[in-house]
Structures are given as structure tokens and as C-alpha cells.
Amino acid sequence: MSHSVPDDLRSPQGGSDSGVAARTFHDPEAHFQNIDEKGVAELVFSGSDITLVLSQSGVIEDVAYRDRAFEKLQAHSWVGKKLSEVVTSESSEKIISLLEDVNRSGSSSSRQVNHPVRPGSDLPVTYRLVRPSYGKSLLAFGENQSQIASAQTRLLQSHMELEADYRKLRETEVRYRTIFQISNDAILVVNGANRTILDGNRTATKLFGKDIQKLIGDPVVNVLDRGSRKNAAEIMTEAHHQGNSKKFDALSTHNNVQCAISVEPFRENGQNNLLLKFDCSNADASTARHGGSDELQLLRTLPEGVVLLDGQGNVIEVNEKFLDFINAVSKDRLVDRHISNWIGASSVDSQVLLSKLKKEGRVTNFATVVQAETGESSDVSISASSTTNGPDAQFVLILSDARRREPGKVARPVGPESPPGGISELVGRVPMKELIRDSVDVIEKMCIEAALTQTNNNRASAADLLGLSRQSLYIKLNRYGLEDFGQGD
């Protein structure tokens, strides 16, 4: 049996159009002349995971498959139905497009569609339609894409987990970096092997009279007077090799201030490094507590907004990123004004934040809004800590863009998963209109979960139960992150 290749399947001058073969067999008669109808069927069967024989209008006339996934799908029951009827509603338009392509050019491009599986996730299949030169039927060649889709899902999940881990790491880094910089004691991080300075805080900059960036890489003994260096080197060597804390006294080279220095070894990057803390009773440490306009200069490069407040919540200092948050040209207009002018939908928000800080000393992931000078508002997450205790307490606020928080949590969870206080905790912090909108989202998510549970995760039955079209249900499942609901049960 032999057939010549139709002209509409031959590409002119070796070119290629969408869905059209770039090159056909040169001598098909020589290769396929002895193949009968059974041989053709065998070739077609083995060439794809599933093969459908379709009418010109897309009605399934016959089915053959070698992938047992279609046996579980009962693909043999599709005969007599339109191909658009056995795919999900959002895939129907793709089937129409495939039929238009094959009727226009004799071959279609490949398109992925989804077959509904009850219960369970949809089965993704990539189809390509061909119109053979003989007969009036069309052939649809399908490839099971479930393994690829599963790999893509795992890759996406891994990416989201990495993003969440990076966010947590970044928040931890910012938190401890802030604590390190606002400490009233001068602190140096020293390489344990060669005793060179790796890092230092703002108070160390003031004590040694030199920017810490200019000290990095220098031997740590250079900040001590010559008479103290030999003893200091011996003590640091002992601390490095023994792993024990040590103490010694020395004079600072900058202003000859007598300091009690504690050496604390710690493990970092596979080696013992040293943390040196300088307790200089005569040093002008008070300037570290009342630093005025320089308090946050070393934090100006942080990607988060930073604000320093006094005990009453009035602004002492801000960094450039906070100015970007509120679209302010200069910090001069902010100093000595209350933070409630920019933080929170109302003054209650800042009151709650300050109250927690005074009571607990630190706050993490405080969700609120920041009000710009131009009237716009944006969601932020605040981590804050108290720098000192007593009547002279000051607070450092670090503001992060809430859009960088973990995705996929559109509605606040309720029931067993809800955080303490639930939505009631947001009263006074979020406008009532937004609370009502979020409450509707929560209820809608609960209803969908209940419908899926009652129907044993049958998506079509759940859509009927909720009075939704299947397409609307799939959109809502995606919105609330419920695509895989019930699969782990």
C-alpha cells in the first residue's frame, strides 16, 4: 500500500510554516509499499501515547493508546463525543484552534489541553492534528505531559521554598545586623587566623576615630597602643586555639581611653574567628545613645526602610529607603513628628506597635500600611526593637515591602489554622471595607473546601454544588492555592 505525499504537506523550498512539515520522506513508496492497513495502524499506535481518529467537525470516531494513564481515564468511552467535550472548559478553545489549523493547512501546531480526572488533578496532554491524504478523517496524536507538569510543579514549589528561605535569611540578617550596629559597646569581628579586622559597628567607628571600612583588613592590634599589642596578640592567639573566652585591658590609640576588652571565639566558615567587645568607661558612649542625625548612617544602604523613634514615637532619624516609601523629598520635614503620620491606616496602628515595643522590647512581621505624602498607601511588614530601656528608650523600625512576603496566602486562615485573634486583631489597623473583603475571601475559600470534601474532590460535582461553572471553579482553585486539594489524603 503506498500513498504520495500531498502537496499541502510539502514545504516550499525547504521552509517551514506553523505546523507544516519541513521535510517529508524522499521515497515513501520504496519504504512503505508493503505496509497494509494493520501495519499503518500499528505505526500510528506506536508513534504517540494516544491517537484519536476524528471527523472533520472534531467528533471522536476511534481511540488507540499505549499509555495506561488513558485506560484509567476510560478514554475508550470518548468514542462518539466531540474532543472539546472530553477536555476541561478552559481547553475547549484550544481544540477549536487545532481544528481550524488542520482544516486550513493539513497539520496543526502542538497545543496542550487538559482532560478532567475524577478525583485528582487534570491530565495534561499535548495534541497535534494531521489530515492524511486518504479519507476524510483527521488524526490527533497526543503525548502525556503529566511527568513534565509534575516536574514543573516541583520546580515551582522548590523555587517558592527557596524564595521563602531567602526572605527569612534576609530578615534574620537585617535584624541581627541592626542589633550589631546599634550596640552601645564597640565591637570588632576579627579573623582568628591572621588577626585582621573583618567588620565593626558604629560605636567602634566613634571609638577609633576612623570609618570601619578603612579599618577592615588592618591588624586589630593597630587600634591599640604599642605597649598593649604584644599581650593582646598572645591572648587572642590563646582564645583562637583553645576556643575559650579571654579578657585583657588596653589603651585605644585614638584617644588613649582605657578599655576592658573581652575576646569571644566563634565558629564561622570552617574556622574560629574572634569577637572583640570594648568596654571603655571613659569613652563618649553617650553619643551612641543620642546620636541625632548620624544614628542610622551605617544602615543607609539597607534595602528596607529604617526609622529611629524616641520613646513617644516621634521621629529622630530615617534612611533614604523610608523617604522612598512615603515619597518625601527631605527628612527635615519628618524629624520630631509622630510616626502615626505615615504608619497605619489610623493612629491606632502606631499605638498598637509602640505599646508592643514598650511591653515586649521587639516586634516581628507587624502587618500594616505606610501612607505616602502624596496620599497613596502601600502594604508593609515591620520588624522593630528597643535600643535602650527606661525613660530614654528608643525604637528602631525596619519596614519591608509586603509584596515580598510569602505568596499564595490570599485569604487569612480561620478555624484551627487561624493566628491568635484572627480578623478581630485587625480592627482599627485596617479599614472596615478591606476587612469585609478579606472576610468574604475566607468564607468563599471555606465553601470551596467544604464542597470538594463533600463531593470527594469531584470538581464537576463541586462546581454544581456551589452554583459555579467549572471554569469559574478552576479560577478560584488557582486563586486560593487549592489546585492540589485532597491529593495528599
Block mean pLDDT (10 aa), the chain, length 489:
44 42 67 68 75 91 87 88 91 90 87 85 89 82 87 85 86 81 86 90 84 88 87 90 88 81 87 88 45 49 81 86 83 84 81 84 84 82 79 82 51 40 54 65 84 85 84 82 71
pLDDT of res. 54: 92
* CATH code at 290-404: 3.30.450.20
- Per-residue pLDDT of 158-175, as tens digits, reads 888 888 888 888 888 888
- Here the cell at position 8 is 499541502
Amino acid letter, 406? E
185-284: which CATH topology? Beta-Lactamase (3.30.450)
Burial class (CB in 10 A: 0-12, 13-18, 19+), 233: middle
CA distances from 207 to 189, 273, 292, 421, 461 (A): 15, 22, 17, 47, 73
Distance CA 305, CA 303 (A): 7
pLDDT of res. 356: 84
pLDDT of res. 5: 43
3-state secondary structure of 329: coil
CB contact set of 153 (below 8 Å; sequence gap of 6+): none
pLDDT of res. 416: 35
- Here the cell at position 211 is 570609618
Domain extents for the chain?
7-144, 185-284, 290-404, 415-479
- Here the cell at position 113 is 489541553
pLDDT of res. 480: 79
- Per-residue pLDDT of 318-363, as tens digits, reads 888 888 888 887 777 788 889 988 988 777 778 888 888 888 888 8
pLDDT of res. 418: 42
Establish whether domains 7-144 and 185-284 are of one fold: yes
**pTM across the whole model:** 0.37
pLDDT of res. 422: 52
Amino acid letter, 209? G
Distance CA 231, CA 193 (A): 17
7-144: which CATH topology? Beta-Lactamase (3.30.450)
